[in-house]
Structure 1
Amino acid sequence: MNNDINLAVLIDGDNIPSKYIKEMLEEIAKYGNPSIKRIYGDWTKPNLAKWKNVLLEYAINPVQQYGYTTGKNATDSAMIIDAMDILYSGKVDGFTLVSSDSDFTRLATRLREAGMTVFGIGERKTPNPFIVACDKFIYLEILQKPKIGDFNTSTRQTKNKVDRVTPKVIDLILTTISDVEDDEGWAFLGEVGALLLKKQPNFDARNYGFKKLTPLIKSIGEIEIGQRKNPKGNGNLIYVRNLS
C-alpha cells in the first residue's frame, strides 16, 4: 500500500483505551500520513481522563460531543458526520477508523464506495461486519510491546495475544498461492499477501506471533520458498509455491 497518502484518523474515544496510542500512531504511519487526527467523546465525563493526558503530546484534536439522548451513541454520530464532511472536502485519500464498534460498518462501506482506502483498528472483540468492511483491519493487541515474562523464546510468540496457525489458516494461504501462481506453480509473495487481505481484511502475520508474512510462510512445511532477481531494481523478490 502507498504510504504517501493522506489519512484522516478518527478515534472513538468512548471505545478505545488510551494505552494503545503510541503503537497505534506508529502503525498508522506505515500506511500513510495522518494529516487529520480527531478523537470523539464527551470530555466532561471522567472515563476520558486518560485520553486528555496524551492529546497534546500526539497532536490529536478532541471533539466534544454531549450525549443528548439516552440510549443513543452521540459519539458515533459525530464521527460519521465528520467523516462525510472530510470525504467531500477532498483533502484526504483514505481513512483510519479506530473503534471496536460495529456501528461504523456502514461508514467504512460508504467511504470505500467513494474510492477511499479504509483502515480499521480495534480490539479483538470487534464484530466481523466492521472488520470485513475495511480494506485492512488491525488488532490493537498485536501492537503492544511484549512485557518481560510474556515472551516465550521457544515459540517466538507472546502469551495469550496470538492465534494458533490452524489447518484453516494454512488452507487459506495454500489456496491463495494457487489463485495467483504462474504456469510453474510459483506465486510472488507480495501478490499473495495482497490477495489474503482482500479475502480476509484482518489477516496479519502478527496475529500468529510472526513479524511478517515470510516467517509465517516458512513455518508451514507445505510451502516452498524461492527468490528471483528484481527486474526493476536491486535485490531479490520472494516467490512461493505449494509442495502438495
Structure 2
Amino acid sequence: MEDKRYAVLIDSDNISSKYIGVILDEMTKYGVVTYKRIYGDWTSTQANKWKKELMENSITPIQQFRNTVGKNATDSTLIIDAMDILYTESVDGFCIVSSDGDFTRLASRLRESGMHVIGMGENKTPRSFRAACTVFTDLELLLDQSVDDASSKNEGKSKLKKKAENVISQKIIENDIIEIITENDNKGRETGLGEIGSRLQKKYSDFDVRNYGYSSLSTFIDETAAFDVKKKESTVFVALHSDKDMKKRVKKFAVDVVAEAGTKGIEMGQLGQKIHDEFPSFNVKEFGYATLSKFIYGIKDLKVETSGNNKKIVYIR
C-alpha cells in the first residue's frame, strides 16, 4: 500500500518557527509530504526567524506583500494555492498549519472534495477551525512531547506544561466513552479500545489524550475510575466499572428519602438533587442508564406519577 501524499501549507503570520521540526515529524505518521510551502511577507523583519528553517527543511517560501495595513493577504494566497493543488489531483490530503479561524471554510471545502485535512495550531486556535479539520493537533503538545522524549523515556502519564485552551473537557470525553460502551452493551457486544479511539476522533477532530496529560488512550482509560480495561489475546476491551455497592446504596437512599416524604411524595427533580448532594461522584451512565430519571423509574420500590401541572412525583410503591 502506497503512502498517502500531503501538501503542508504554513501560515507564517500565525505560527512560530520553533514548531517546524515537530510539524514535519508529526506528518510522518500520515504519509509523504510532497508540497511544503510557507506563506508570508519575507521582506519583513518578523520573517527573519523562519529563514534558517526554510533552508534546513526544504520549505518553499511564498512571498505576499502587505498591500494594506491590517489586512492579512497571506490567508488569501494560501487559500488560492490550496485550491490549485486540489485541482491537480496530486495529493490525498492537506495539512494546514495556522492558529487562524479564517481557514475554517477552506478546511471544510477540502473535506467536501474528499481530502483528509490535518490542522495544526496553537491552543488558542478557535473551535470552528478545529472542528472543520479531519484531525487537529495542538502544537504545544507536540513541542512538549519532543522535549520530554529528549530528556527521558517516560511512558504513560506525563505532566503538560500548559493546559490547552478550547479543548473538550475530560468529563465530556468520559461521558462519551460511557455512552459508547452502554450502546454496545445494549447490543450484546463488547467494546474494543480501537473503536473508542476511532469514534472519539470522528466526533472531536482535536481529540488527543496528550491534551489531558497522557501518552496513550489505554492509559487514559485505565486511570479513569469509571472503566475497567481487560485484554483478550491481542485485543484490548473496555467495560464500565461495576460498583454494585454504590448502586445499592443510592437505591436505598432514594427509597428512604421518598418514604420520609410520606404520602405527598417528592418531585423527581428534588429527589435527583438530594441523590447528587449525597453521592456527588455517582454517575447513572456508569450503570447503563441514560438519565437519573430512568434510574429512578427502575427502582422497584418506587413509582412515578405525573401531577396535574405535569410534574413528576415519586411515591413509595
Question: Which one of the candidate residues 208, 224, 236 is aligned to 2:212?
Answer: 208
- Local SS of the residue matching 1:238: strand
Cα deviation for residue 42 of structure 1 reads 0.3
Q: Is the counterpart of residue 4 in structure 1 residue 3 in structure 2?
A: yes
Q: In structure 2, what is the Cα distance between the partners aligned to 1:205 and 1:196? A: 11
What letter is aligned with 2:57?
Y
Cα deviation for residue 173 of structure 1 reads 2.4
RMSD: 2.7
Taking the TM superposition and a 5 Å limit, the aligned residue runs for 1:51-70 are 51-70=50-69
TM-score by length of 1: 0.88
- Local SS of the residue matching 2:86: helix
Question: Which one of the candidate residues 170, 176, 193 is aligned to 2:174?
Answer: 170
Q: Which residue of 2 aligns with 1:39?
A: 38
Q: In structure 2, what is the Cα distance between the partners aligned to 1:172 and 1:55? A: 42
TM-score by length of 2: 0.68
Larger Rg: 2
- Local SS of the residue matching 2:87: helix
Q: Is the 8 A contact 1:8 1:35 kept in 2?
A: yes
* Greater percentage in helix: 2
- Local SS of the residue matching 1:124: coil
**Count of residues paired in the alignment:** 237
Cα deviation for residue 182 of structure 1 reads 7.5
- CA offsets, 1:27-79, max 9 Å, x none? 11111211111000000001111110111111111111111223321100000
Q: Is the 8 A contact 2:228 2:240 kept in 1?
A: yes
- Local SS of the residue matching 2:85: helix
- Over 3 Å counting, the alpha-carbon distance change for 1:164 and 1:86 in structure 2 is closer
Question: Which one of the candidate residues 190, 203, 213 is aligned to 1:186?
Answer: 190
Return 5+ residue gaps in structure 1 as ranges. 230-235
Q: In structure 2, what is the Cα distance between the partners aligned to 1:164 and 1:118? A: 20
Q: Which residue of 2 aligns with 1:156?
A: 158
Q: Which residue of 2 aligns with 1:71?
A: 70
What letter is aligned with 2:132?
A
Q: In structure 2, what is the Cα distance between the partners aligned to 1:192 and 1:68? A: 48
Q: Is the 8 A contact 1:146 1:158 kept in 2?
A: no
Return 5+ residue gaps in structure 2 as ranges. 242-285, 287-317
- Local SS of the residue matching 2:215: coil
Q: Which residue of 2 aligns with 1:130?
A: 129
Q: In structure 2, what is the Cα distance between the partners aligned to 1:156 and 1:201? A: 22
- Over 3 Å counting, the alpha-carbon distance change for 1:18 and 1:168 in structure 2 is same
Q: Is the counterpart of residue 115 in structure 1 residue 114 in structure 2?
A: yes
What letter is aligned with 1:224?
D
Q: Which residue of 2 aligns with 1:225?
A: 229
Cα deviation for residue 14 of structure 1 reads 0.8
Structure with the greater relative contact order (CA < 8 A, sep ≥ 6): 1 or 2? 1
Q: Is the 8 A contact 2:95 2:118 kept in 1?
A: yes
- Over 3 Å counting, the alpha-carbon distance change for 1:180 and 1:72 in structure 2 is farther
- CA offsets, 1:163-208, max 9 Å, x none? 8974333212222334456844521211211110111111101111
Q: Is the 8 A contact 2:158 2:215 kept in 1?
A: no
Q: In structure 1, what is the Cα distance between the partners aligned to 2:235 and 2:187? A: 18
Q: Is the 8 A contact 1:12 1:40 kept in 2?
A: yes
Q: In structure 1, what is the Cα distance between the partners aligned to 2:27 and 2:133? A: 14
Q: In structure 2, what is the Cα distance between the partners aligned to 1:203 and 1:109? A: 18
Q: In structure 2, what is the Cα distance between the partners aligned to 1:16 and 1:180? A: 42
- Local SS of the residue matching 2:56: coil
Taking the TM superposition and a 5 Å limit, the aligned residue runs for 1:75-90 are 75-90=74-89
What letter is aligned with 2:161?
K
- CA offsets, 1:118-167, max 9 Å, x none? 01000000011000000110000101134699xx99x6313324689743
- Over 3 Å counting, the alpha-carbon distance change for 1:95 and 1:164 in structure 2 is closer
